[in-house]
Each structure stands twice: as C-alpha cells, then as structure tokens.
Amino acid sequence: MVSKTDETCPAAAEDTGEGGERGCDIKREAAHSSGMPLVNGDSGHSHTEAEDHNEKGEGETRADDGNDQEVIVIQDTGFTVKMHAPGIEPFDLQVSPQEMVQEIHQVLMDREDTCHRTCFSLQLEGNVLDNFSELKSIEGLQEGSNLKVVEEPYTVREARIHVRHIRDLLKSLDPSDSYNGVDCNSLSFLSTFTEGDLGENGKRKRKGSELEQIDCTPPEHILPGSKERPLLILQPQTKDAKPLQCLKVLTMSGWNPPPGNRKMHGDLMYLYVVTAEDRHVSITASTRGFYTNQSTAYSFNPKPANPSFLSHSLVELLSQISPTFKKNFAALQKKRVQRHPFERIATPFQVYSWTAPAVEHAMDCVRAEDAYTSRLGYEEHIPGQTRDWNEELQTTRELPRKNLPDRLLRERAIFKVHSDFAAAATRGAMAVIDGNVMAINPGEETKMQMFIWNNIFFSLGFDVRDHYKDLGGDNAAYVAPTNDLNGVRAYNAVDVEGLYTLGTVVVDYRGYRVTAQSIIPGILEREQEQSVIYGSIDFGKTVVSHPKYLELLEKTARPLKIQKHNVLNDKSEEVELCSSVECKGIIGNDSRHYILDLLRTFPPDLNFLPVEGEELPEECTIMGFPKEHRHRLSCLRQELIEAFVEHRYIVFMKLAALQLMQQKANKQEKECPAVTENSGSSPADATESSKALSEDVDPKSKEVILNACKAVGSVSSTSFDIRFNPDIFSPGVRFHDNSCDEVEKQKQLLKDAAAFLISCQIPSLIKDCVDHTVLPMDGATLAEAIHQRGINIRYMAKIVEYVSKSQARQQLDHIHKLGITELITRSAKHIFKTYLQGVELSGLSAAISHFLNCFLSSFPNPIAHLPTDELVSKKKRNKRKPRHLGNVDNTAWASTTPQELWKNISNETKSYFNFTIECESVDQAVERYGLQKISLLREICVKSGIQILLKEYNFDSRHRPTFTEEDILNIFPVVKHVNPKASDAFHFFQSGQSKVQQGFLKEGCELINEALNLFNNVYGAMHVEICACLRLLARLNYIMGDNNEALNNQQKAVLMSERALGVDHPNTIQEYMHLALYCFANGQLSTALKLLYRSRYLLILVYGEDHPEMALLDSNIGLVLHGVMEYDLSLRFLESALTINGKYHGTKSLKVAMSHHLVARVYDSKAEFRSALQHEKDGYTIYKNQFGENHEKTKESSEYLKYLTQQAVALQRTMNEIYKNGSNASILPLKFTAPIMSSVLEQLNVINGILFIPLSQKELENLKAEVHRRQALHDTFRMAEQEDSAEGTGTESVHGKSPAIVETSTAQASA
C-alpha cells in the first residue's frame, strides 16, 4: 500500500487508523527521474550535494534499467464511489485504486455519521469485498459504483472491538491519556491560541487587514523585565476542558462470561451502564447486537427487558435509553471531527509531559481490562497475542530494496515494527522495575536477575559477575547499554544484507537502567561459550573468528572506518577480526548471522583514558588531559570520527595538490584546479578519486600520493583511506610483536583524533555560537548541538571554561548559563538516580518531593514524610518481593538536607565533569550564575522523567517547602532507542534544500514536496522530520507569494512539533514565531500577536529573557504592535530587543542598527522627533562605518534622518507659533505617519531573515553561469571514473523576473 500526505478528499475524513494516514498515491513525474535519479538507501554515508545524487544515482538507475519506468511512475487516478449505509443518506467517497478495502472501513469508522459502526462488511452487487484486497483488483468497481454497508453478526472479538471503539469515541476529546503518556497520545495547544483552524476551512474567513477591535495588551508576565514566571499558562485549560459527559459508567459486568446455556442463546458478554440520568442498566452483547436485559447488580436474569431496544450498535441502544447520551454524543462527535487531524493522530514514539493539571480519575472499563489482561505482568499468555519481535525486526530488514516502491515498503515496515517494539519494551521495562514480572533466575541476587516478558529479554544495568570489574564496575555497566545502542544504530544505518543486530531499547526508570533486547532464536537453550563463533566473551583472553563474519563485517568497515586487524588469543595465535574483540557473532537457530555487544564499535577517547607510558599531544596536555574517568568505556562519537576523516581528507588533497603543483608537468597542471576544488566533497568519494589519481599517473605522482597518504595516516598507500582499530588500548587485548609498527600508527591516529576534538571541534562550536548559527535554548538543544559536532557531554566543563575565557564572553552569555545549568542538573540527576534506588514504591512521591525541595526550595530545613506506620506491617515480608536491588536502607533518603545535597552536587560536578561550581545552595547558584529556578525544575523533571502538578510554585518562601507529596503526579521512563530513517525521502529533502540555496525555488519546492510525500509513506503522518519538511515548504510558499498555503503548512508544522517534540520544546517556540509571521501576512493580526506572546512565554519559561532569540521575538512583537498603533507597548518590546541585540551582537552590529531604526520609526509615529532623531543617528553611524557613505542602506538612513529633521523643525515652528500667539495661532496641520501594513510586513520579513531581491533576466543568467562553472570544476575531477555521466544541476530555465532569495543566519529555515 502506498500512502499519501494529508490532502485527502473532502469526503474522506482524516483517518486515525494504523499509522494515521489515508492510503493514496505517490505522484511521481518522470520529469524528476532524468534530473534526480533515485538513490539507493544502502549507501553508508549521506549525500549532501545534489550533484552527488546525480553521479551516484546514474549507475544504479542503469543497473535496473528494465524496471526503470516502474520505479518512476506509479499511475494513479482516484475515482468516486457511492456509499449506502443503514439509517443515513447515501454519500460520495473519493478512493484510490492503490487502497485496500480495509481503509474504506477506517474512513467510515471515523466519519461523524457512521463512526458508531465497527462490525460490517462492504458489498458490491451482493458480493462481500475482502478486507485486504486492493480496490484495483476488484472486478466491476469503478467510478460511480454503489457500495453497500451491511451489518454483520458479532463474535466475542468483534463485540470487544466495538466496545473499545465506542469508548475511544467517548474519550476522544479527553486529554487524560496525553497527560498520562499512554498509547502515543500527546498534547497540543495551538488551537487555543488560534481559536480553531487557521486554514481554508477556518471559522473566520477575514479578508483584508481591517483592524478589528483587538485587545493587544500582553499579560503582565510577558512584558519585558517582568520577574513573574507563571507555570499554569504552560498548559492553558480551555473552557470546554471538561468534556461533555455522555454516560456516568460503562464497564464490563461482573456476570461475565456468559454461562453455557446463555452462550447457546448467542450471549457474548454483559455490560453494565449508568446513564447520565442515573439509570442503572445491564446490557447483553449478543451475536445479533446489543439489548437491555433484566439483571441487576446482585441478581442474574439474562432475559431481555421490555422494551429491549435491540440495536446493532451500542450507540443506537444508548441513544434510546438516555436522551442526554443522544444529545451529548452528537455534540461530541461534531467537535471531534472539527479538530485538526494532527491533534488526533498517534505519535510514533511516546512523548511525556513534565507537568499536568489535576485530572479526575474516571471509571474506564477498557483501561481497567487492558491493565490486567494482555498488557501487564501476567505474562501475555493469550495465544496469537505475543509477537515474535526478533522475527518481525529481522524479516522487515530482509524485504527487497531494488527500487523505490520496494524500499518505501521496506522502510515503512522497519519503522512500524521499531516503534511498536520500543513501546512494548518500555512497558515491559516498567513492569520489571515495578516488580510485576517473574525473573528467569529467581534464585539469584536481585541485581543479577534477568527477565523475559512478551518475547523481550530484560537485564539491569549492574555489573553482574564482575564482568566490568577492570573497566569501572557498575559505572561501566551503566554506560555499556547506551554505547551498545550507538553501535546498533551505526550498523543498522550501514544496513548490510545478511548481518543482523538485535532490537535494542534502553530504559531509565525509577533510578534503574534496563536494557531490553529481542531474543536470538535458540540462544536461551545453549551456553554462551558454545554459541559465540566470532569475537570474545572475556574481553580478549579467548578470541575466535569466522570467515563468514569477516566477509560481512568487511562490508561495514569502510563506512564505519574500522581497520581489519589481528589480535593474539590465549594460545598466542593470531586471530583476524574486523570489529572490536567484545563484539560477538552468534548464528541463531534461524541461521541468521547476529552481532551483539557493540559497545566498542567506535575507538576509545584517549582524553579520558590515561594509559601508562603514552603521551598525548600538546593540545590535550595543556587542557589537563588525560583525565581519569569513572569507567574505561569512553568512546569517540561517530560524528567526530566522520569530521576527523573529512578534515584529514582536506589536508590530504591540499598536500597532493601542493606537491603536484611543484612538479610542473603538463598533465598535472590540467588536473590541479580540480584537485583543490574537490576539497569540499565528501571523503566517502575520496578513496575512489584518489585511486583514479593514482592509476592514471606516472610514478612521480604515485610518490606524491604515497607521501600525502603517509602524512595523513591513511591505511592504504595508494589512496586516501583512514580507519581506526577499536582494540588499541583495550585492556587484555594483545597484538603480535611484528605488527608493532602498525599499532604505533594506529595509536598516533587515536591521539590525533583526541587532539582534533579539543583543537578543532570545540573552538568551531564556540565560533558557531558566537555567530549565532547555533542557538540552543535549553539543555536538550545544547546537547544536540554538541553531539552534532562529535563532542561528548563529558566535555561540557571544557566548553564552559572555553566560553568564560573567550573574548566574546558577553556574546556567549547564554551558552555559559546553559552550560552551568546542564552541569548542575546532570550532576543532580546522577545523585537522584542512586537516591531513588533506595526508595520503595509507597514512599516514591514523598521521596521525590523531598529531593526537589532540597534541590530548589529556599526553605532551609524541609522534612521528609515517611509513609505512615499503620500501613507498614510489623512483619516485613521482604523476602518474597523482588524489589530493592541491593540491601539499601529504604529510609536513608529521608535524612537528606539541602546543604548536603548541594555539597554532593558540587562534588559530583568536580569528580565527573572536573568543574568547580561555587555555591552551597540553590539561591547562591541562582544569584551567582543568573539562573532561574523554574528552568532548573524543568530540566531536572525532563531528564529524570518526573511529572509534577501544574500550579504556581513558590520557590523563595523561607517558611514552607515548595513541593508537597501531592505535587508529584507520576514518574515516567526515559527511553533511548534507534530511529530508523527514511533514506530516499531524506536525499530528496537534501537536494531540495541545496536547490533552494542555489536560488531554484520552484525546483526546490517540487523536491521538498516529493520528500514530504515519501516521508509520509515511511513514517505515517506524524514525525519530527516531516515537521522540518513542512516548515521549509511553508517558507518557500511564503517567498513565492502563496501566503495561504504557507499558513496551512506552518500550522501543520506547529501542531507536529507540539505533538512529537513537546509543547515547550525550543523547536516549537520557533515554529510559533514563523506561524505568527504568516498570520500577520494573511491579515490575522490578533492571532499573530497571541502566537508571538505564546512564543515569548515559552522562551522565558525554558531559558529566561536574556537570550539572542528573544531579541528577534521582541522585534517581531514590537513591529506588530506598531502596526496596530500600540506605540507605548511597542517601544517596550523594541527597546528590550535593542538592549539584547547590543549585548549579543555587539553595539556596532547591523542588527543593532536595524533595532535603532525600528525604535526611531515608533518615536516618529508618536511625534517624538527628538528621540527618533537620536536613534536614527545611531543607526546611521553604524551603517556608515560598516558600509561607507555610498551604500544603499546608509543613503536610506540619511534620507530618513532628513525627513525626521524636517518634521522636528515643523513641530518646533508650530509650538513657537502657539507660544507666541496663544489660542488664535494659525497652525498648519502636522503630518503624522500611521504605519502602513505593507511596510510593517516588509520590516518583519527583513528581521526574520527573508530578503526579496528582484533579479533581472541578465543577473539570473550570470548567477546560473556561476553555478555551472563551479559545477564543472567539481565534476572534472571525477571524469576519470565516470564518463560524462554527471550532468550539471544548474540547467533549469527560469523566465522573467524571479525572486531569488537570501536566507540570513537568523532564520534557521533548514534546521
């Protein structure tokens, strides 16, 4: 089934079924195929340039030329059928031949007038259609066919499905599942600010920019300089937060299951209902439908009541019994259908909220039943219900991937199984820690126990049997699972056929780390020693190898930069390996080749691994490395390895070019420019290109390449190829003496990589932060920025030190604050983890609230409330309970004091990060580093999975503690898993981006649309990457003048960001800003303001006011307020922006000049010309110094100065006239300039980094020629290998004047 984005036909209401999208089509024009061949998902490295595509794709498209056409075009024309359902008028439904019959079922179950039916078949001229057949395979189904909905008899299964569906409909507007983090529900608040949908079908179709009466006054806490940090507004409770109550109770009856004699009358099950009018009713679900019976709570009488109201649907029955139900259910469905589909679709992975309001706990039969049957503890014994996760995960990998439709199906299947597996593993891990799963080795000590639940294997992150004794004990056992997960991620991305990894999920819950893995068939039946045929189970003492494994792993060696090497086993024989020693190969009973324990896929980080007798390079020793770390498993990140190799490649090309230039032979002279030009290309092609170099050239040049290879440490002497040996410096691994030279080289390479991290990567991160190309707003975004550059979090202290010594210290203030916040909250998290391990379930909320009080409250001596004694039985029966891993005194936590906790935090930052924080209490930390408590609270809750009550907390009271036990609502798991990627879609997305950067907007737009289509195919309708795609599309729509479409796409992006990342995620804050701009452009001023206020509130909550992004936000707010003539308010925001810009960009920067100009305009509108002149003069001075007298900006500013001077003089004259002649003065009317909307919009575009530059045809031609020229240079170098196959990308024709576009750094359009 191939599926489409969400532009479904009007009749086909959005579907909330599996994956939540309607299957429709991928419209693929053959046009793309020539310019943009489809790239195989198997390539181990991502392509960044559109050119790479052309060149890589050609070979492949040729490979399957036979079915080339089929790859490109999936022909698809939709048609309309007429649906006849009982009880309602026939209606038309748009369908596509690719769809399955099942999808029509889903649409009917979602439509307002047919949603109460679940048990029906579809019939065409009396023939029942098979649910799983595609519509195109059904004979006689065509445009205008009549499809009949026919009610079918129920079975127990169908009756259960029906009750569950009705319950879902009744709960469809109830947010409690989102707050509780179940079933992939999550929150979204956009509609509370836009009052419904913004798109075409919005309630308010307002044309033009008439100024309707709007109240623009922002709430007090949003004004610049406000010290209030309210929390309640984070999750605004709408007026209809209490959904309409249709029933009081709907639950399974205690009379279930029906006795034998009733079964033979067709009884399937009994329900018990209390209606809103307080009528108690017993209902029988029978094969023919639902009817009321004569049973009561205490007497069983299954005979039908009189009247029995037999109905095929439960909704019809309840509507007859209860008028309130009838009225409210209809209203509820109307509301449900009005909501944007993105508010209803499930997210692929669960998102948890760190705050929640007090929600009433309502009766819910389905929830209760789920908790006790298939879902929890009582291992899933229901036949056909357990899933063989390993089989599913591996089979999806084996699906064909020859052409695009195959690859899409394969990636879709991989993604679906993966998200299901992550959900099941999380549920299982929680059940294990809560003590609801029986161990498979119950006799052993609790730390050593292992569990199997739902075909998933669970183990705890403790050092069992001293396995990691030499590597750091429990600390090593704690990081090993995440290292292993990174290894699994890397091997999965390389995706070699025939090599299998385990499904792996790492869950942190209640202070414990649980690893969940799929089970290799047969592994539980044999000893590990027998099964491992490759690698080592004792860290390198005994080592074995296997030719098949070597062959498979060799395919991964190049993309993962792993060096094939020999190690010595216990008999001192050489064994060849192509991975680290502890990577084990096991052939399962299904004869698949599995690899596991990938914790050392990447080489060790020598900065944190002191080795006797080894000296690190000077760059490292100056910074105080190597440092002793808690464990010896510190690895370099994959991103670092790739950056290092790329860096070395540039060095290699420069060296080769330099030497070739010195040998002035003719042949070299021709090749030279290409050599230097190629330094930007990706190192993955480097090997080929340098081989090409070496094959065609005389011995002299061979020598050149040899020298260059030597200089950069390449493993091959004829081409550039850098690889690492992951076993160097592993304790217990021995190498043969005669490979000594090789080992020394490898050691040097590792030292260079460690030095590269410190001398290149950290400074480049700092530089990006100074330039504000990286704008982290909270801990998560800072960590992400650090990780993208291959730097580990353990370097955080070094980054903070770098910042504090930097010349641009002031411009990096936000990075400094975020760094300190991270150091404090991460250290607190480490302490919280061990703190929680000593707490039993009944004391959990008391313990967490006590910890938060010690961490954040100014109250000097909070007292912990131990669970009351009368609940603790005198005889502690702790023998049976498989809880309390270890013999912890489970009340020790209660004696923690704030002084002690902060002392521990400061020790932890010292010992783990090697950073000294100079504070002994939270108030000192806040004072000294300018932090805010609400942000610290958010960080610790998000990192540890705590959910607190949504209310205003008083952190500064010295008379009562901030938190009570009632404030702790829940503790959630923190889950790490692999994110399978949609490779084809991603390549399209990247090509689209590079097209846009070259100025080909239309082509870029088409590619991005194509990418969106493919993303929807793989991920379903809701995913973080789709969000990025929609944002870029909206921006392109806006630039190309389609404001409505921009609004539509950006609205989806905001909803998706809220749902998939979180309502207060920094990405969501930016999405809100973009949406506000498009709202303003569409004349929806009050909405634009509300969105900007929301954005500002979130940024204040997450970080505080003093952030470079706040300057942009305040400029936006100030401009919009200026547009609606709220001058005083506007000034407050614009002056705040001016201050922040001055701080973060320097007082001489263009941003500050722009801010001065905006402030001057408002003073001009207020007729305060003196202030206006002052600001405009400041701006003028900056422009003059930066650009000189003759630049257009300087001239503009000078013109405006003249105008202001005239206005000021005119005003002064008038004033003088009044003073002189008093009341009978003849006054000339003054011209006051009310702002024009178009000019406000123009300024908004400028500050948001969108500049329209009208280009003439001639300029366009020049631009294209330039792109061509660069392209040609890029390609000459590859000619040796590919005969003229790579075509230039700049061949599109653009007619007339086209708006080219400049994206400035403020706009992270393509984050």
Look-up: residue for tokens 């006239």? 1217
* SS3 assignment for 683-704: HHHHHHHHHHHHHHCCHHHHHH
CB 643 within 8 A of CB 636: no
Q: Let me know how many helices (H) and strands (E) the chain has, helices first.
A: 43, 25
Task: Strands of 906-1003 (E only): list them.
Answer: 946-949, 968-971, 974-977
Per the prediction, the chain carries an average pLDDT of 83
CB 1229 within 8 A of CB 1251: no
Confidence of residue 382 (pLDDT cuts 50, 70, 90): very low
* Interval 1247-1260 mean pLDDT: 68
Task: Identify the H or E element spanning 168.
Answer: helix 156-170
Find out whether the peptide bond into 307 is cis, omega within 30 degrees of 0.
yes
Cα Rg of the chain (Å, integer)? 34
CA angle (884, 887, 893) in 5-degree steps: 75
Single out the residue of 1033, 1025, 1064 nearest to residue 1051, CA to CA. Answer: 1033
Q: Has residue 1286 got a pLDDT over 70?
A: no
- 567 φ/ψ angles, rounded to the nearest 5 degrees: -120, 165
Position 1303 scores a pLDDT of: 41
Q: Tens of pLDDT along 401-446? A: 999 999 999 999 999 999 999 999 999 999 999 998 999 999 988 8
Beta strand pairing status for 512-518 and 355-356? unpaired
How far is CA 182 from each of CA 186, 232, 351, 417, rounded to the nearest angstrom?
8, 22, 9, 18
CB 894 within 8 A of CB 839: no
Question: Which of helix, strand or coil describes residue 217?
Answer: coil
Task: Return d(Cα 458, Cα 465) in angstroms, integer.
Answer: 17
Task: Return d(Cα 933, Cα 928) in angstroms, integer.
Answer: 13
Task: Identify the H or E element spanning 506.
Answer: strand 504-509
Q: Has residue 230 got a pLDDT over 90?
A: yes
Q: Tens of pLDDT along 805-856? A: 999 999 999 999 999 999 999 999 999 999 999 888 888 999 999 999 999 9
Look-up: residue for tokens 């411009």? 811
Q: Tens of pLDDT along 133-165? A: 888 888 888 888 999 999 999 999 899 999 989
Position 1223 scores a pLDDT of: 67
Q: Has residue 348 got a pLDDT over 80?
A: yes
Q: Has residue 706 got a pLDDT over 70?
A: yes
CB 16 within 8 A of CB 110: yes
DSSP secondary structure string for all residues of 126-150: TEEPPTTSBGGGSTT--TT-EEEEE
Position 1230 scores a pLDDT of: 60
CB-facing half-sphere around the CA of 1173: CA atoms within 13 A:
12
CB 1018 within 8 A of CB 1: no
Q: Has residue 199 got a pLDDT over 60?
A: no
Position 174 scores a pLDDT of: 85
DSSP state of 1251: E
Q: Has residue 344 got a pLDDT over 70?
A: yes
* Interval 1150-1161 mean pLDDT: 95
Q: Which two tokens stand for residue 338?
A: 């009005």
Q: What share of the chain is helix, strand, coil (3-state, %, to 5)?
A: 50, 10, 40
Q: Tens of pLDDT along 639-671? A: 999 999 999 999 999 998 888 888 755 554 455
Q: Which two tokens stand for residue 1068?
A: 């969501």
Question: Which of helix, strand or coil describes residue 638?
Answer: helix
DSSP secondary structure string for all residues of 578-608: SS-TT-EEEE-TT--EEEE--TTSS-B-GGG
Q: Tens of pLDDT along 306-322? A: 888 899 999 999 999 99
Q: Which residues contact 1053 (CB under 8 A, 6 or more apart)?
A: 1027, 1030, 1031, 1034, 1071, 1074, 1075
CB 607 within 8 A of CB 757: yes
Whole-prediction pTM: 0.86
Q: Has residue 1033 got a pLDDT over 60?
A: yes
Neighbours of 417 (CB within 10 A): 21
Task: Return d(Cα 1040, Cα 1003) in angstroms, integer.
Answer: 12
Q: Which residues contact 1294 (CB under 8 A, 6 or more apart)?
A: 1000, 1002, 1260
Task: Return d(Cα 586, Cα 564) in angstroms, integer.
Answer: 19
DSSP state of 532: E
DSSP state of 88: S
Q: Has residue 493 got a pLDDT over 70?
A: yes
Task: Return d(Cα 1066, Cα 1074) in angstroms, integer.
Answer: 13
- 971 φ/ψ angles, rounded to the nearest 5 degrees: -130, 125
What's CA 659's distance to the chain center, in Å?
46
Position 659 scores a pLDDT of: 85
Q: Taken in order 1099, 1104, 1108, 1111, is the CA torsion positive or negative?
A: positive
Position 1273 scores a pLDDT of: 63
Task: Return d(Cα 1230, Cα 155) in angstroms, integer.
Answer: 83
Position 1311 scores a pLDDT of: 34
How far is CA 1226 from each of CA 266, 543, 951, rounded to the nearest angstrom?
99, 104, 61
Position 63 scores a pLDDT of: 35
Task: Return d(Cα 285, Cα 156) in angstroms, integer.
Answer: 9
Beta strand pairing status for 91-95 and 512-518? unpaired
Q: Write the single-letter amino acid at 1223.
A: S
Q: Which residues contact 29 (CB under 8 A, 6 or more apart)?
A: 72, 73
Confidence of residue 55 (pLDDT cuts 50, 70, 90): very low
Position 245 scores a pLDDT of: 85
Task: Return d(Cα 245, Cα 329) in angstroms, integer.
Answer: 8
